[in-house]
Structure 1
Amino acid sequence: MKLRILILLILGLQISCSKKASRNETLVFNETEHSPESGTQSTNQESNNISEKETEDDCIFDLTTQSDEFIQHIPEFKNYTWNVSTKTATILLQNADTLYAQRGGCYHFGLSGKLVKSNDDHSTGNIDHWLNEAKWISKRILDDSDYQELEQMIVSKNYDLNIDNDKIYIAFKGHNYAEWYLTVERLHGNTIIDTGYYFG
């Protein structure tokens, strides 16, 4: 029960931080907004202009400075698309998996990576595997200092672990962010590995 409450809290915060375009953040991702060209921005004008002026004035963090610069230098991500409204990159990986990298926020600023895998048969109890997946995601999207901090928390087992009905929630401890997490769940035949942090 605690896991469900924590997951709902995290989802609520992510939704509140992605302005009013949160309907694109659910598991059923709206692929029609993403351009097939490499590194291009979404061309769907309607979703890009959703109440932008309305919320920009109320935001703690400057929405105009939130861009895809954090993944532009990664060679294996060269064919990503960037959605300006949700501050999310959609990265189609060579193994047919998809990584959604999000950076930004209005009231809470966060950086997260959500890896959607269609073929993963590792058991829920294989915590080392899931921590390695979190490290793989984090090495690519986080700053080096944040990645090293994550590695240290993993090595020292500085986290709380909760497993409930084939879902995993790990709350990392001993960092400077409001929350740093890893969630793993199986949904609609996919394995979703979501890791990141937020502050604000």
Structure 2
Amino acid sequence: MNIKLSIFIIITNLVLLSCRDSILKTETTKVSIDAVTPKDSKALLEELLTQIDSIENKESTNQQENEDCIFDQSTQTDEFLKDIKELEGYVWHPDTKMAEIILNKQESLIIKRGGCDVFQFYASFMNEKVLDFEKDKKQIFDSIIWITSLLEDFDGEDIKRVIEEGKISITKRDEFNYHANFMDKKLYEQYYFNFNNKDITTFEIGYYYD
């Protein structure tokens, strides 16, 4: 039985049982009955069915958008974060497939996992302090080791090994931007690392594929 028929039956029964002209309210429906101010029961039903049509059209549009994607967005949830104690308190945004985590007073973290035609997975740190890449390199890469060891989608052990062995090629692109490659065949082809310290500091490790 579809949603329209189910709610129609529920509301019809309520109308038949009621002799009042007041607005009907029920927790079993997902439409906004409070917003309806009909003069009679027929108008109420017509208004409710209009709202139901709107809901169904929205669901149909979302389904169509997902069907048009290369990657199934319906499976792109925050399930991969739920059992990680160190990341408790995150805020998940289902539309962007991003999680926000406040690490301390100065530092926050954004994790993205998902996409439509391009699948992205990255962890991006933001620090209100302006870090110096050369002077604060250990702090920066310690953060990279920490987050990649927590998230199974990263090759945490390999990333840690390459960083600790110093097998990193660093390119200074301009005054504020650095790029790093991990000098390991598997990691080199898959991962990227970017750093920027204009006004604030952001640095990110991740990968993507289409």
TM bin, normalised by shorter chain, reads: 0.5 to 0.7
Give, as a single letter, the amino acid of the residue that structure 2 aligns with 1:111: F
Tell me which of the two structures has the higher relative contact order, counting C-alpha pairs closer than 8 angstroms and 6 or more residues apart.
1
Contact kept? 1:114, 1:193, Cα under 8 Å: yes
Structure-1 separation of matches of 2:103 and 2:139? 19
Within the candidate set 146, 157, 165, 1:148 is matched to: 157
Structure 2 residue ranges without an equivalent (≥5)? 1-57
State yes or no: 1:180 paired with 2:191. yes
Alignment gaps of 5+ in structure 1: 1-47
Distance 2:187 2:129 in 1: 35
CA distance in 2, matches of 1:193, 1:144: 18
**Counterparts of 1:75 and 1:81 in 2: how far apart (Å)?**
14
Q: Distance in 2 between matches of 1:106 and 1:175?
A: 25
State the one-letter code of the partner of 1:182. F
User: Counterpart in 2 of 1:125?
Assistant: 134
Deviations 1:48-91 (A, max 9, x none): 98x64453122221100011112111223221111001000011
Equivalent of residue 74 in structure 1, options 84, 89, 99: 84
Question: In 1, are the aligned partners of 2:100 and 2:111 still within 8 Å (CA)?
Answer: yes
Aligned in 2, Cα 1:191/1:76: closer, same or farther, shift over 3 Å?
A: same
The CA deviation string for residues 30-59 of structure 1, in whole angstroms up to 9 with x for no partner, is xxxxxxxxxxxxxxxxxx98x644531222
**Partner SS, residue 154 of structure 1:** helix
Judge conservation of contact 1:153–1:174 (CA < 8 Å) in 2: no
Contact 1:139-1:147 at 8 Å conserved across structures: yes
Report the alpha carbon displacement of residue 178 of structure 1 after superposing the two structures with TM.
5.5
Shift of 1:118: 0.9
Indicate the SS of the match to 2:158.
helix
Q: What's the secondary structure of 1:130's corresponding residue?
A: helix
From 123, 145, 168, give the equivalent of 2:178: 168
Whether the 8 Å contact between 1:130 and 1:184 is mirrored in structure 2 is no
Q: What TM-score, normalized to structure 1?
A: 0.64
Partner letter of residue 108 of structure 1?
V
1:20-59 superposed matches below 5 A: 52-59=62-69
Which of the two has greater strand per residue?
1
RMSD: 2.6
Partner residue in 2 for 1:139? 149
Task: Select which of 95, 100, 115 maps to 2:125.
Answer: 115
Equivalent position of 2:42 in the other structure: none
Structure-1 separation of matches of 2:71 and 2:86:
29
TM-score, L = length of structure 2? 0.61
The one-letter code matched in structure 1 to 2:185 is G
% identity of equivalent residues? 26
Inter-CA distance 146–115: structure 2 relative to 1 (3 Å threshold): same
The alpha-carbon distance between structure 1 residues 145 and 167, as it changes in their structure 2 partners (threshold 3 A), is closer
Number of corresponding residues: 149
Alignment match, 2:20: none
Tell me the equivalent position of 2:94: 84
The structure that has the greater radius of gyration is 2
| Pair 1:55–1:161, CA change in 2 (3 A) | farther
